[in-house]
Structure 1
């Protein structure tokens, strides 16, 4: 079979978990074609993405940019047996969500339906929000079955009515945290519609942890403790809270914070650090490819990611960067937000503090900076746990079995015949 994999943007530096899954399925023999709703925006590209051989199609990011392509697709869509069902679903969605974004997704679905390679027998989407809307409308137009991988923002910022309808129509889905799984299961029409599959890591892409790390304890101004964070500067990552916590540390404690990532709030974060007099103690590295990120994990003394729930409900799932840091034996400090506690046991494989608690974060920072032996123990325990329980192979094997279990093509043909019969019966 051939699976069309629908993603919001390709390639993206922040979505190594998607590239890892696509490559793993490709290496197991699954033919895929990639469909991106947006053009790439990151300047750097991971080597992981370059290894993927699947062709990529870019849909019109904005419909007015390619009017001829969209009009041809709409004309073709109106001749399809599934047109009425797809249009009815879209109109119902548009009434509840009267936005340009909703209109754009239907236009993109028409283009995708018109341009799908003839050998595509299944649609799979990453994220249950906008990419899944395109997958759903395309499935209705073509009669093909579809499935999904749900992650974080898509689960927590999508309205319940939309999740229920997508869960009812998708053939199956997977998600990457027990927290997200429980939420989706409560909305699903039947047990077993959604399966828990942790992303995990492909440890073949990561070196063994360093044999040792310098015993920095914050006492030497010439050799400060190196604190590292990797992530976009967005509200749910909590980096503004971290800047406040750093400002509260004792003046005689010597540290340096390294931030890797872009994000809409990066400028505001830099201004906050400047106001608090911290600019000369921070390195803003911007977005980097994974080999450069791994190098930072290996030179740092402590990884810090103070996750929180954003005001719009957005939150992390299980951040891959925590697993990556642990793979390098780096002690991690995070919060009890999102699904972090599914990976880190406080005091055993890392440290967790309450989210949005700057004093608690400051206290944990100070304690860990001053205790290199404790950091080493946490790092070693974290490395052992992540390598034992969070490898990616079992999850990718399970996905491959899902796709190639024998019912994909048959289901797709039956769906198409059913849609045609329905239209014939109802005129």
Structure 2
């Protein structure tokens, strides 16, 4: 039996948690077939991506790119027993969401339904928005169960009617934060339709011992503090707030900031850094594979992530980079935003400030920057908490059981 997995794009450097999960499911004996809505845009890949054995099929990213393939699939789909039901559901969705995106998802679903391997036991989608739409329509066409893993943007930026209907039709779903779980459970026809399942980390991807770090305090201009952030340059990550905070740091505190991540907002961030006179103290590394990110964790003194609520409602879930930084022995400064307080215990395993508060972020960075002993204490407690409560193994075992059961809980 093969489980079909639908993802937005493959491979993606910013979605290490998906690669970790899929490799873990294969290690637990599942046969997967991966279907991607988009072609890759990152130039590099993680070692995890290369460990996946599953075949990868790219659905037509735009229907006009492969008209013959789409036409053939629609012809086959019309002959399937679920055609009338799937078409009716899609037309009802289209009446409430008159976008090209909604049309494209039905075409992609027809291709998926036509090309599923024999013996497919169910369809499993990562993200509750467009990948789940494709999974849902294809499952209706083929009469298969479907399920989902919900994360952050997909929970908070799609309309309530769409969440309710998907939750009513999906066999089951999982989500990676208590905040998201409470929201989805309230919308589901039965609360236990959705299970809380933290991604966690597989610790064998990280060094067994925490790297030794010099007790820098920002007082030596020839050996400045190394501040690190990892995240895409998008509004919800708050890196414009990071720049404002860095500009507020006292003149006597010597630092440099390393930013790792791609994103559409990089050009604007670089321009703002130039305007603030910070450019010569910032290294923009762009998107990087996991081994490079781990090396930067080892070289840094302090990790910070100023997550906030975006204007369209998008927000972080529980950023894996915070767990990665802590397991690498870094103290973290983050915000009281989304599910971050589920991981970071304020004053015990890290420092939290209000989202969007550049002054408070600057104060936290300056205080920790000058205090190597507090950094060491927070890092030790944070690493211990992650290793004790946020390992990936138990969640992967549970998920593998759900998928192996053919979608039956």
TM-score by length of 2: 0.99
What is the match of residue 221 of structure 1?
Answer: 221
Match status 1:266 vs 2:266 = yes
Offset at residue 210 of structure 1 (A): 2.9
Partner of residue 154, structure 2: 154
1:209 is displaced (CA, Å) by 3.9
| Root mean square deviation of aligned Cα | 0.8
Write out aligned runs for 1:294-305 (5 A). Answer: 294-305=294-305
The superposition leaves residues 75-104 of structure 1 with CA deviations (integer Å, 9 ceiling, x where unpaired) of 111111111100111111111000000000
**Does structure 1 conserve the Cα–Cα contact (< 8 Å) formed by 2:122 and 2:144?**
yes
Alignment-derived partner of residue 127 in structure 1: 127
Aligned length: 408
Tell me the CA shift for residue 404 of structure 1.
Answer: 2.1
1:7-86 maps to which residues of 2 (within 5 A)? Answer: 7-86=7-86
The residue correspondences of 1:150-299 to structure 2 (distance < 5 A) are 150-299=150-299
Aligned match of 1:344: 344
Report the alpha carbon displacement of residue 251 of structure 1 after superposing the two structures with TM: 1.2
1:86–1:140 CA contact under 8 A, matched in 2? yes
- Please say if residues 350 and 382 of structure 2, whose CA atoms lie closer than 8 Å, have aligned partners that are also in contact: yes
Matched residue SS, 1:308: coil
For 2:145 and 2:211, locate their aligned partners in 1 and report how far apart those are by CA, in whole Å: 49
- C-alpha separation in 1, matches of 2:272 and 2:106: 41
For each residue in 1:295-324, what CA deviation from the matched residue of structure 2 results, as whole angstroms up to 9, or x when unmatched?
A: 000110000100101000000000000000
Deviation track 1:235-270 (CA, whole Å, cap 9, x = no partner) reads: 000000010000011112100000001100000000
> Which whole-Å deviations, capped at 9, do the CAs of 1:333-372 have from their partners, x for residues lacking one?
0000010000000110011001111111111011011001
TM-score scaled by structure 1?
A: 0.95
Aligned to 2:364: 364
CA-to-partner distance for each residue in 1:385-416, whole Å, 9 max, x for gaps? 000100000000001111223x54xx7xxxxx
For the 8 Å contact 1:209–1:298, the answer to whether it is kept is: no
Q: Which runs of 5+ in 2 are unaligned?
A: none
Report what 1:420 is aligned to.
Answer: none
Give per-residue Cα distances to partners, 1:36-78, cap 9 Å, x unaligned: 0000100000000100100001000000000000000111111
- In 2, Cα distance between equivalents of 1:121 and 1:208: 38
Given that 2:213 and 2:301 are in contact with CA atoms closer than 8 Å, whether structure 1 keeps it comes out as yes
What stretches of structure 1 move > 4 A for 4+ residues in a row?
Answer: none
